[in-house]
């Protein structure tokens, strides 16, 4: 059959006049996509108003989605609403500009930098733990949000910068991110849009003298911001412009702490919901990360059960349950023709539970990544919590290390109990996170902190909603 004679992917039933599936998508998009997968198969069309969106579920389709990005598929245009907030940076920049900027990001996340970042993570997390009473309760979602902000600020922009700008930086940052809206035209004269633009102007004014000082003293700082200050475009040899530098900082802060906060909260919640596996993790911490010794990259590498837990959190609770691309040029997917002007979408939340790739996929089972099973390696596009292809998240190791450091030090020094037993997934314009969840804590006595691990128990599988 000729390419142009192929049918377009079948439209899922239940589309209403004018709005299509939009109301169902807004109300409960996982249920809508699950229904499509069950009724139609791994490739189908939903109608969001007049827009046709092709949903593709499974590694063979993910491969097309990620490998055709920047070719027939466009990553920037579906997220163009972010440009007014963050400018032409990262994946929302055009392809050529993205390639110009990518070396700066890659350089800042190199291995020797990560050693420093892990030190910052350990120091900031320990400050938070030391501020806690010997027993009490905290709401973990907001707590992880504030902690991830602090870690990102001090690691990426430096402790000197954060000390100098103080609370003013975070207030302005909050006004900027509060102006993100995927629906309304971004230049409407609304109060939050006006505050967004004013905050960008004020933050750039704060930043400029700091940049001038750093350019005059390039060897005086060891942080992400200084890497950007020192960087030059490979094609021109020119330094990064101040406004582009601000955009990169804001974009990385948003991508870094927004996603990490939710994943860190879920990692602790899932462990507390599964005490048998939690015991494996606690015993490993007692043996390989004892109280009083600094957490290093070598320590995190040795905490294999923690690493498996972090990966299982990515599988069961991805921070982005859907990813979008615009179709710039007609493409064939799964024997169907997808015309230019349509959108395509992958759904990690569903794909991560395909039984042909993940055994008993609805169960929390971090040991599925252990030697002899290694389900995450069956297909490199089976697990897509951090995307894939050229645009796979450059900060993935930073995020996973931060989640591991937070969870390790928390479990090392405190006994925890979930007060909110069954948190749900809270979805919005940013990263998915748990609904508000209260955790009760009690500081471990010093003899226990210094004690040897008890015998490990075999984990018992338990289903996850």
What mean pLDDT, rounded, does the chain reach?
Answer: 90
Q: What is the pLDDT of residue 454?
A: 45
Q: Which of 136, 407, 115 is nearest to 271 (CA)?
A: 407
Residues of the chain below pLDDT 70:
1-4, 429-430, 447-463, 465
Its pTM stands at 0.91
Q: What is the pLDDT of residues 208-247, one digit of tens each?
A: 898 899 999 888 887 888 888 888 888 888 888 888 888 8
Q: Which of 146, 160, 150 is nearest to 123 (CA)?
A: 150
Q: Which of 443, 184, 400 is nearest to 297 (CA)?
A: 400
Residue 303 lies in a domain: yes
Q: How many CB atoms lie within 10 A of CB 53?
A: 21
For residue 214 the two structure tokens come to 């750093």
Which stretches does DSSP call E strand in 317-379? 323-327, 331-333, 336-338, 343-346, 363-364
Residue 336 lies in a domain: no
Q: What angle is formed at CA 295 by the lines to CA 128 and CA 250, rounded to 5 degrees?
A: 60
When computed from its CA atoms, the radius of gyration of the chain, rounded to whole angstroms, is: 23
Number of domains in the chain: 1
Q: What is the pLDDT of residues 430-448, one digit of tens each?
A: 689 999 999 999 999 976 6
Residue 326 lies in a domain: no
Q: What is the pLDDT of residue 323?
A: 95
Residue 149 lies in a domain: yes
For 438, the domain range is 82-319+353-463
Q: What is the pLDDT of residue 388?
A: 93
> What CATH number did the domain enclosing 387 receive?
1.10.630.10
Q: What is the pLDDT of residue 460?
A: 53
Q: What is the pLDDT of residue 34?
A: 96
Please give the Cα distance from 55 to 349 (Å, whole number): 12
Residue 46 lies in a domain: no
Q: Which of 108, 106, 89 is nearest to 98 (CA)?
A: 89
Residue 265 lies in a domain: yes
Q: What is the largest CA-CA distance in the chain?
A: 74
Residue 27 lies in a domain: no
Paired residues of 338 in beta bridges: 331
Q: What is the pLDDT of residue 245?
A: 86
Please give the Cα distance from 145 to 257 (Å, whole number): 7
Residue 140 lies in a domain: yes
Q: What is the pLDDT of residue 256?
A: 73
């Amino acid at each position: 059959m000729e390419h142009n004679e192929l049918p377009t992917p079948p439209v899922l039933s239940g589309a209403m006049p004018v709005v299509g599936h939009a109301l169902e998508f807004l109300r409960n998009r996982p249920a809508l996509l699950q229904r499509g997968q069950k009724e139609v198969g791994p490739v189908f069309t939903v109608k969001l108003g007049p827009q046709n969106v092709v949903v593709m579920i499974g590694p063979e389709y993910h491969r097309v989605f990620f490998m055709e990005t920047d070719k027939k598929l466009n990553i920037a245009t579906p997220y163009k609403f972010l440009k007014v907030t963050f400018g032409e940076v990262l994946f929302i920049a055009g392809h050529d500009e993205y390639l110009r900027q990518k070396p700066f990001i890659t350089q800042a996340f190199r291995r020797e930098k990560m050693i420093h970042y892990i030190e910052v993570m350990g120091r900031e997390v320990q400050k938070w733990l030391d501020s806690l009473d010997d027993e009490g309760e905290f709401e973990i979602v907001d707590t992880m949000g504030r902690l991830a902000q602090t870690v990102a600020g001090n690691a990426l922009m430096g402790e000197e910068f954060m000390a100098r700008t103080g609370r003013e930086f975070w207030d302005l940052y909050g006004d900027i991110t509060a102006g993100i809206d995927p629906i309304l035209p971004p230049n409407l004269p609304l109060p939050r849009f006006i505050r967004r633009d004013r905050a960008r102007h004020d933050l750039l004014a704060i930043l400029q003298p700091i940049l001038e000082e750093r350019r005059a003293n390039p060897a005086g700082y060891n942080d992400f911001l200084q890497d950007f200050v020192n960087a030059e475009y490979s094609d021109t040899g020119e330094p990064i412009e101040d406004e582009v530098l601000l955009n990169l900082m804001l974009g990385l802060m948003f991508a870094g702490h927004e996603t990490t906060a939710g994943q860190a909260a879920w990692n602790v919640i899932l462990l507390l919901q599964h005490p048998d596996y939690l015991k494996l993790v606690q015993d490993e911490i007692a043996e390989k990360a004892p109280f009083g010794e600094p957490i290093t990259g070598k320590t995190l590498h040795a905490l294999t059960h923690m690493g498996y837990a972090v990966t299982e959190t990515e599988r069961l609770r991805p921070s982005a349950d859907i990813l979008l691309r615009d179709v710039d040029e007609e493409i064939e997917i799964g024997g169907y023709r997808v015309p230019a002007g349509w959108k395509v979408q992958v759904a990690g939340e569903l794909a991560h539970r395909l039984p042909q790739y993940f055994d008993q996929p609805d169960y929390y089972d971090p040991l599925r990544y252990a030697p002899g099973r290694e389900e995450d390696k069956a297909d490199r596009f089976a697990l897509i919590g951090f995307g894939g292809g050229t645009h796979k998240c450059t900060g993935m190791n930073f995020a996973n290390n931060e989640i591991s450091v937070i969870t390790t030090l928390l479990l090392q020094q405190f006994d925890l109990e979930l007060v909110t037993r069954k948190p749900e997934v809270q979805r919005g314009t940013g990263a998915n996170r748990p609904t508000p969840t209260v955790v009760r804590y009690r500081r471990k006595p010093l003899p226990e902190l210094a004690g040897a691990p008890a015998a490990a128990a075999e984990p018992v599988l338990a289903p996850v909603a």
